[in-house]
Structure 1
Amino acid sequence: MFGLFNKKSEKEKLQEAYSKKLAEVHKASQVNRKEADRLAAEAEEIAKKIDLA
Structure 2
Amino acid sequence: MFGLFKSDPTKKLQKEYERKLEQAMHAARNGDMRANASLTEDAEAIRAEIDKLKQE
User: Which residue pairs with 1:17 in the alignment?
Assistant: 16
Runs of 4+ off more than 4 Å? none
Gaps of 5+ in 1: 1-5
| TM-score, normalised with respect to structure 1 | 0.82
Gaps of 5+ in 2: none
What is the aligned-residue RMSD (CA, Å)?
Answer: 1.2
User: Which residue pairs with 1:48 in the alignment?
Assistant: 48
State the identity %: 29
Q: CA deviation at 1:7?
A: 5.7
